Amino acid sequence: MSEHAPGANPYKIYWVTWGILLVITVAMLGAEMFHLPRLFLVLFLLAFMMVKAAMIGGNFMHLRFERSNLTWMVALGILVTSLILYTFITPESWHVKATSAPAPAAAVPSESTH
């Protein structure tokens, strides 16, 4: 049994999903221009990144048609990967931030006359 009506565009869901993802992406890029408080901005961006990941996984990776076990495995894999990256990147970012201060200018030896 076909899931599309005869004569219907089978790619409509992809175009609608693409349009919604485009709108969300533009909103995320524009959010920086509003000078929101940092915590609110980060939470806003993280929430919309999760929405985008769910839409991509559900529609483009066809996870909405799969059994829930596969969907949970993919979601758990993304969560574990994110935690591992956070664990390794956060201490490195503190190190880079601490050492990125400009070094004092080296003293140029003065030329002395003998």
How is the chain split into domains, by residue range? 10-61, 62-93
Query: Tens digit of pLDDT per residue, the chain (114 long)?
Result: 455 567 678 789 899 999 999 999 999 999 988 888 888 888 898 889 889 988 888 888 887 888 888 878 888 988 898 888 888 887 777 776 666 556 566 655 666 565
For residues 47 and 21, give the distance between their C-alpha atoms in angstroms, rounded to a whole number.
Answer: 13
Name the packing angle between helices 38-55 and 12-31 (round to 10°): 170
Task: Supply the pTM of this predicted model.
Answer: 0.60
Q: List Cβ neighbours of 51 (8 Å cut-off, separation of 6 or more).
A: 24
